[in-house]
Structure 1
Amino acid sequence: MKVIFIFLDGVGIGEKDRKANPVYATQKQVLARLIDNARFQADASMGVEGLPQSATGQTAIFTGVNAPKVLNRHLSGQPTISLKKVIYKSNIFSELVKMGYEVTSSNVYRDEYLENMLNVKDRKHRPSVTSVMSMAAGIEFRTVDEFINENGVYHDITGETLKESGYEVDTVTPKRAAQNLYRLSRNYDFILYEHFLTDIQGHKADFDEAVDLIDRLDNFFEELMKQMNFEEDVLIMTSDHGNIEDVSIHTHTMNKVPVVVLGKKAENIKTEVHSLTDIMPFVLEVFSKNG
């Protein structure tokens, strides 16, 4: 069994309106159908007042701990010392490693990020939740060379951002990126891919640009699902909070987030997902039932 976990930042369950929700405005509507058929709808607020945010939401997803309650507030951006302690204590990577599984992140990191993310004075390159999780579990970070060799996926899927940053790389199509992710996943039991442009685009609140981005994701998911054998493979996709589904505002939303689960190996799992904190227990049960 191979589990591919796709984390999309800032994608909630919004209105099925082509004129208002970019997710439903693309030609293929692959992401729209995934959301429509999501196995669960997860609460991102977790009983704490205020708009859900990335640092606490992602910590909850990847540790199973109610991070907003730990801080008594929702926190945006990167994790604080308190959240880092939660992540280092237990996270989805470290728990799967303890169970004897091979895990990895497919995401490629720029050189300057890797050089500066542990510099406490450098606020621009502070590590994200998933970066802290990788460090806590001893997972190696993928470099630009691995993107060039098609052994990793950049956060924007195509690598355009890398090229714009001055790296001498060839961009890839969403289809090729999906093929690279699938091929890489054959070497691991659990692989994570994180995409956060959806949240950035949601904050920009430009409808046409948002549609273009969702179209890129449609092509990516379409090819990835063609590659996967759902008799043996499991695809899980979720988010930390809503945003891009409502570009009439520049902020996050209170909408629930989709938890997509595809694959025969995950059909008889008893754990239900009602909150972001339930996602990690669900994943661990998938492995314990199929180990």
Structure 2
Amino acid sequence: MHPHHRVVFLFWDGVGYGRKDPDINPFFRARLPHLRSLLDGRLPHLGLRRFESSLASVVPLNATLRVEGLPQSGTGQASLFTGVNAAKLIGRHFGPHPTTTLHPLIESKNIFRQLGEQGRTRCFANAFPRQFFEYAASGKRRLSVSTLACRYANLGLFDAEALSRDEAVSADITRVRWGELGYPHLPVVTSKEAGIHLWRIAQRYSFTLFEYWLTDYAGHARDMAGAVEVLERFDGLLGGFMEKFDPTLCTLLITSDHGNIEDLSTKSHTRVPVPCIVAGRRRDEICSTLSNLTHVTPSILSLLSNA
């Protein structure tokens, strides 16, 4: 038995294996001391797909799911968060939001719902401004897989009030945009502070998800300086989190839905595999079952069912 074991899933959108080329791959231009520390000084790339460090394992996940065309966020995230090949189900990759034909799958099989049926506590750590709740209530906004999953699992989303208490994390990590959204008194934090907040939040739940979509936006923008900043911000969050991380009581999983930011020579998604980074003493229980996006949710469910 493993008392009180937790899983924290850091989902970064649009991060695949790229070439070890700082001219097109911002991972090899950015300063990423905490990610490099986690991986014993190395970073995954097309020539280094699967390896072990003292604390973590890196495993490649197929993101094309045996479907032609470029992987997209709607089907990729549905596959990632349900354990079912959503692209194969509808016969194509689709995004950025899931097509309505995937809603029944997301309703019945999403990871939040399945964990709830196991009796596990779970949370989506991202905070949302009032504009999001207004759009969602109006029915005019197509929801992402993660927010749709929360709705179907009757899992409430965190708001600005939770964020002000450091009980949620901003999607941009440092809260720099919240002033523009009508929250001028909400303090900006460092990325390290956000990582510490995330660790504290995770202590209350069996499973915690944090979603970082700026990586995908940076890939589409093809702006090297912007992409470097987005990655360095994530690295700061990782540093704050790892400062508190207990590998005996927590498994950390970092992965993506498709490639994009790793190749700024194109603004489109890519068909490369995505790295799955798993840290903690029980990482072998997850890594031994992973080879594509559909394996992530079942591996988390299995680990926590034995927790």
Is TM-score (shorter-chain normalized) higher than 0.5? yes
Deviation at 1:17, TM superposition (A): 2.2
Aligned residue number for residue 277 of structure 2: 260
| Residue-pair matches, total | 287
SS in 2 for 1:230: coil
Greater mean alpha carbon deviation, residues 273-282 or residues 260-269:
260-269
Moved over 4 A (4+): 32-35
> Is residue 59 of structure 2 the alignment partner of residue 40 of structure 1?
yes
The structure-2 alpha-carbon separation of the partners of 1:268 and 1:74, relative to structure 1 and needing over 3 Å to count, comes to: closer
Aligned counterparts of 1:60 and 1:202: Cα–Cα separation in 2: 21
Structure 2, unaligned runs of 5 or more: 45-50, 52-56
The aligned runs of 1:279-290 (5 Å cut-off) are 279-290=296-307
> Is residue 23 of structure 2 the alignment partner of residue 7 of structure 1?
no
Structure 1, unaligned runs of 5 or more: none
The aligned runs of 1:130-209 (5 Å cut-off) are 130-168=146-184, 169-209=186-226
1:53 touches 1:241 (CA, 8 Å); kept in 2?
A: yes
The structure-2 alpha-carbon separation of the partners of 1:269 and 1:207, relative to structure 1 and needing over 3 Å to count, comes to: closer
2:278 touches 2:287 (CA, 8 Å); kept in 1?
A: no
Aligned counterparts of 2:301 and 2:18: Cα–Cα separation in 1: 29
Deviation at 1:180, TM superposition (A): 0.6
> Is residue 245 of structure 2 the alignment partner of residue 241 of structure 1?
no
The structure-2 alpha-carbon separation of the partners of 1:201 and 1:270, relative to structure 1 and needing over 3 Å to count, comes to: closer
Aligned counterparts of 1:181 and 1:18: Cα–Cα separation in 2: 30
2:268 pairs, out of 246, 251, 256, with: 251
1:118 touches 1:126 (CA, 8 Å); kept in 2?
A: no
Deviation at 1:167, TM superposition (A): 1.6
Deviation at 1:11, TM superposition (A): 0.5
Letter in 1 for 2:250: D
1:23 touches 1:29 (CA, 8 Å); kept in 2?
A: no
Letter in 2 for 1:200: Y
1:31 touches 1:217 (CA, 8 Å); kept in 2?
A: no
Aligned residue number for residue 116 of structure 2: 97
Greater mean alpha carbon deviation, residues 267-276 or residues 251-260:
267-276
2:72 pairs, out of 49, 53, 65, with: 53
The structure-2 alpha-carbon separation of the partners of 1:55 and 1:269, relative to structure 1 and needing over 3 Å to count, comes to: closer
Letter in 2 for 1:11: V
SS in 2 for 1:264: coil
Aligned counterparts of 1:133 and 1:170: Cα–Cα separation in 2: 29
1:10 touches 1:243 (CA, 8 Å); kept in 2?
A: yes
2:32 touches 2:231 (CA, 8 Å); kept in 1?
A: no
Deviation at 1:269, TM superposition (A): 4.5
1:238 touches 1:257 (CA, 8 Å); kept in 2?
A: yes
What's the C-alpha RMSD, in Å, of the aligned pairs?
1.5
1:117 pairs, out of 136, 142, 154, with: 136
